A and B are shown apart, each in its own frame.
Chain A
Amino acid sequence: MTLKKNILALRQKKAIVEKGGGDKAIEKQVAMGKMTARDRILALLDAGSFHEYDLFVEHEERNFGMDGKELPGDGVITGTGTINGAPICIYAQDFTVMGGSLGLKHARKITKIMDHALKMKMPCIGINDSGGARIQEGIGALAGYGEIFYRNTMASGVIPQISVILGPCAGGAVYSPALTDFVFVVENISKMFITGPNVIETVLGEKISQEDLGGARVHAEITGNAHFYALSEMECLDQIKELISLIPHSNQFKAVKVEPKEPSFPKSIENIIPADPKQPYDVREVIYALADDSKFLEVQELWAPNIVIGFGRMNGDTVGFVANQPMYLAGVLDCDASDKAARFIRYCDAFNIPIITLEDMPGYLPGVDQEHAGVIRHGAKMLYAYSEATVAKVTVILRKAYGGGYIAMNSRHLGADFMFAWPGAEIAVMGPEGAANIIFRKEIMEAEDEDAMRQQKVQEYIEKFANPYVAASKGYIDAVIEPLETRELLLHALEVSKNKDDYRPAKKHGIPPF
């Protein structure tokens, strides 16, 4: 009889805490167009798979009227569950409990589940919806953030870490997401900044709304802090599920292989790229024409769209694609594009995902703003990332490969395993016009008709040098291939690279140009 009584008491206790901040606070949360923390977890995980821990953890603060104040779960829900059968650790901050503010015990619940994820080798997903540090707890809250950042860093490159911003995430709180692999944001709901609009206005007199300062679109398009942008929470949760299905769940495993499927993209790969190197096209169509089932999950779609990165599958296995995008800024490399690609390359390398590079780029973006923004050190990140990576690295030069960009885009010289070029590829130190102007300067200046002479010399240069055969004659290109052969050759290259072993000198760690 007493057992039955105890069980009933437990159920009662649980029911109270599971309500979080109570009906009124939940009503407010819903009125803001947001789901509750618990609903978010339940919607993301497989039905019936969520198991919660530390439900009865309580804060220990005694100052500022906190003594005896009950904060259910201390404002965060933690537990384990599965997504499409794959085990994951998850935590979700509960905005209905004191604004989801982070105190020491709240943070300790998070670090406990992170430690678990790292030990058990599974992805860790954090749903952020918090007003920030619990001011009453003072240094305790700061300690809590610091302990989370430390674990984010320890787990980096070992298990996937995913941050979902479904509410405010301000001040020190932003640095946990920034340290994780992928940040998901939702229009009108996500707000991220170090100092908010009030402080900015007081100190600097600059007036700006939360949305314009650090809304979802800003981080997806301008800052590059976000990797996935959704219009609703449900769309966001679907994006997470798709990503989880594509990535390995620790650096010791491979992503789950699926049944290989031929591409279904209706356009022939031969008809995507205009022959005129000045004309744009959408390089994602080339990826659709190459990837299994023509499926491609693009990462950071809106930020630095002049380079395209993302995951697809080849023969059922996950691969990373890096491709210049001639549709935007002619596909040039700039600070943001280099930054974006470099981090993605390092992600793929850390998790043993082969990298396919599709190259069609005219060079680096000229401009005072670029030089002063540090295009030298940002550009260097990409050279570092490709050189450092030991996963299988395959490049296909689709059309243009000029100058420093040719080197940067996973060239043979940075350790590419396979270099293919389409027959129309122009591999040269610079575009033919620029090269002809320099090399034949005298002839052009002395000619009666300068323009005609220039045209003639440009043509000569294209025929002699701006083609794939010079590079092929030196062995820098392994094969000049027909577009229709590309998928087959890529599949083969990945197949024969399966046991790739590439050693690097022993070191504590390198010093990339962060």
Chain B
Amino acid sequence: MTQETQEYVDFAVTARKYKTLLTKKYINRKVWNEPSPYEIQSFIPGTIIQISVQEGQIVKEGEPLLILEAMKMLNRIEMPFTAKIKKINVKVGDRLPKETLMIELEPVDE
């Protein structure tokens, strides 16, 4: 029943490749991406209530970026370090899934 129309693929376990089928769960697994400090992602699904910054603005560490409402809580998302707002990908009222890229940052010249 599990076979469906799958094909045997090369599957590496340590130094050797095995011919085998993959499971749906394996194919759909979350592939790891190294988090970038310059990308502000939603840590929980929710709704954007307020955006306090604009593109191009230099924002100091600790200042508010936006408010993400999730599970009836208003989460204040703060600037992790002083940087410039490169791009804002969301607007007030947007409902976001988890790990949506909300704001992109770029370093400021000292």
Chain A residues within 8 Å of B, Cβ to Cβ: 203-206, 221-222, 229, 277-280, 301-302, 304-306, 326-332, 336, 362-363, 365-369, 430-431, 433-434, 437
Whether B108 sits at the interface, judged by CB under 8 Å, is no
CB neighbours of A222 from chain B (8 A): 24-25
Ordered nearest first, which 3 A-B pairs have the shortest CB separation? A330-B18, A368-B32, A433-B15
A280 to B13 CA separation, bound complex (whole angstroms): 14
- Specify which of A301, A328, A363 is in contact with B20 (CB 8 Å cutoff): A328
- Contact in complex: B18, A278 (CB < 8 Å): yes
Interface residues of B in 2-24 (CB under 8 A from A): 2, 8, 11, 13-24
CB neighbours of B72 from chain A (8 A): 203
CB neighbours of B29 from chain A (8 A): 367, 369
Q: A328-B20, A330-B20 are in contact. Are A431 and B11 (CB under 8 A)?
A: no
A280 to B17 CA separation, bound complex (whole angstroms): 11
A47 to B43 CA separation, bound complex (whole angstroms): 57
Whether B87 sits at the interface, judged by CB under 8 Å, is no
Query: 9 extra interchain contacts, Cβ-Cβ under 8 A, other than A204-B70, A277-B18?
Result: A206-B97, A221-B2, A277-B16, A280-B21, A305-B2, A305-B23, A326-B18, A328-B22, A367-B32
A-B residue pairs in contact (CB < 8 Å), sample of 5: A205-B45, A277-B16, A278-B17, A433-B15, A437-B15
Most chain-A Cβ atoms within 10 A of its Cβ — which of B16, B17, B22, B31? B16
- Specify which of B18, B24, B47 is in contact with A362 (CB 8 Å cutoff): B18
Interface residues of A: mostly helix, strand, loop or mixed?
A: loop
A-B pairs with beta carbons under 8 A, tally = 91
A330 to B2 CA separation, bound complex (whole angstroms): 15
A368 to B17 CA separation, bound complex (whole angstroms): 19
Distance to closest chain B CB from A346 (angstroms): 23
- Contact in complex: B20, A366 (CB < 8 Å): no
Distance to closest chain B CB from A275 (angstroms): 14
CB neighbours of A305 from chain B (8 A): 2, 23
- Contact in complex: A434, B23 (CB < 8 Å): no
Chain B residues within 8 Å of A, Cβ to Cβ: 1-2, 8, 11, 13-26, 29-32, 44-47, 70-72, 95-97
- Contact in complex: A329, B97 (CB < 8 Å): no
Q: A362-B14, A366-B14 are in contact. Are A206 and B19 (CB under 8 A)?
A: no
- Closest A residue to B72 by beta carbon equals A203
- Contact in complex: A278, B70 (CB < 8 Å): no
Distance to closest chain A CB from B71 (angstroms): 6
A38 to B22 CA separation, bound complex (whole angstroms): 42
Q: A329-B26, A330-B13 are in contact. Are A279 and B1 (CB under 8 A)?
A: no
- Contact in complex: B70, A330 (CB < 8 Å): no
A328 to B70 CA separation, bound complex (whole angstroms): 39
- Contact in complex: B95, A205 (CB < 8 Å): yes
CB neighbours of B1 from chain A (8 A): 229, 301-302
A279 to B10 CA separation, bound complex (whole angstroms): 10
A201 to B17 CA separation, bound complex (whole angstroms): 42
- Specify which of A206, A221, A279, A332 is in contact with B25 (CB 8 Å cutoff): A221
- Closest A residue to B11 by beta carbon equals A330
Distance to closest chain A CB from B92 (angstroms): 15
- Contact in complex: B14, A434 (CB < 8 Å): yes
- Closest B residue to A434 by beta carbon equals B15
A222 to B26 CA separation, bound complex (whole angstroms): 10
Distance to closest chain B CB from A327 (angstroms): 6
- Closest A residue to B32 by beta carbon equals A368
A221 to B1 CA separation, bound complex (whole angstroms): 11
- Closest A residue to B98 by beta carbon equals A204
A366 to B18 CA separation, bound complex (whole angstroms): 14
A280 to B25 CA separation, bound complex (whole angstroms): 19
- Contact in complex: A365, B2 (CB < 8 Å): no
CB neighbours of A336 from chain B (8 A): 25
A305 to B25 CA separation, bound complex (whole angstroms): 11
